[in-house]
Amino acid sequence: MSLGSLLPPLGETIRCPCCDRTIPALVLTDAYLCPRHGLFEVGSEENDPKKNNVVHLDSGRQWLFWQGQWHCQHQQIESLRTEIFAALDHLHHQGFHATRITLAQRYRELVTPYLESGSDCFRRIYYGKLRLYGLPVTFQPETQADYRWQVISFELTKAPGSPKNYAYLTCTRVSESGGKFG
């Protein structure tokens, strides 16, 4: 019996979907153990063998591996919003800003109630579109039903330079005395 037959299907090690560090396989299981994030089990995708997925056993979150990166398959709006915010922050540190967010169709029902649509007539006319973090949001065209959109959650359209509106880069907290500080 070879060592390869005792390892999970994704090999001896994988990159942790959460922290991107190399984590080892557990022999005689279909799992990988990250000392920081816990156990990840290889999921079974009978209908598409190209999908390499892992499930975080503590949270139930699922990731798909595609083009060298893990992509979280979100079940809750907050995890998707957090990932988008982190991507916007990453763009800012690279000297770019986002001009639009394109979301996968599978998130339309999950996300739409939480988008900024503007409740009054002025905002609807001024914005004209649904927004998230002050950016226009579109959904992946239904004509683009390729494999990429089955895996990725969103795509940012970017432009060089700092954004004109820093609405999505500021975090305002309210102190106990009622005053704001950033």
172: in domain: no
pLDDT of residue 182: 34
166: in domain: no
41: in domain: yes
170: in domain: no
Structural domain total, the chain = 2
Distance CA 43, CA 56 (A): 10
Same domain membership, residue 45 and residue 81: no
pLDDT of residue 33: 96
Same domain membership, residue 51 and residue 7: yes
pLDDT of residue 7: 85
Task: Mark the ranges of the chain whose per-residue pLDDT is less than 50.
Answer: 47, 49-50, 169-182
Distance CA 139, CA 137 (A): 7
113: in domain: yes
pLDDT of residue 176: 44
Q: Which domain holds residue 82?
A: 77-160
Same domain membership, residue 67 and residue 83: no
pLDDT of residue 110: 92
pLDDT of residue 173: 34
pLDDT of residue 160: 93
Distance CA 130, CA 116 (A): 6
pLDDT of residue 58: 92
Same domain membership, residue 90 and residue 42: no
114: in domain: yes
Same domain membership, residue 106 and residue 46: no
Same domain membership, residue 89 and residue 115: yes
Same domain membership, residue 58 and residue 17: yes
Distance CA 96, CA 105 (A): 26
| Confidence (pTM) | 0.76
Same domain membership, residue 105 and residue 35: no
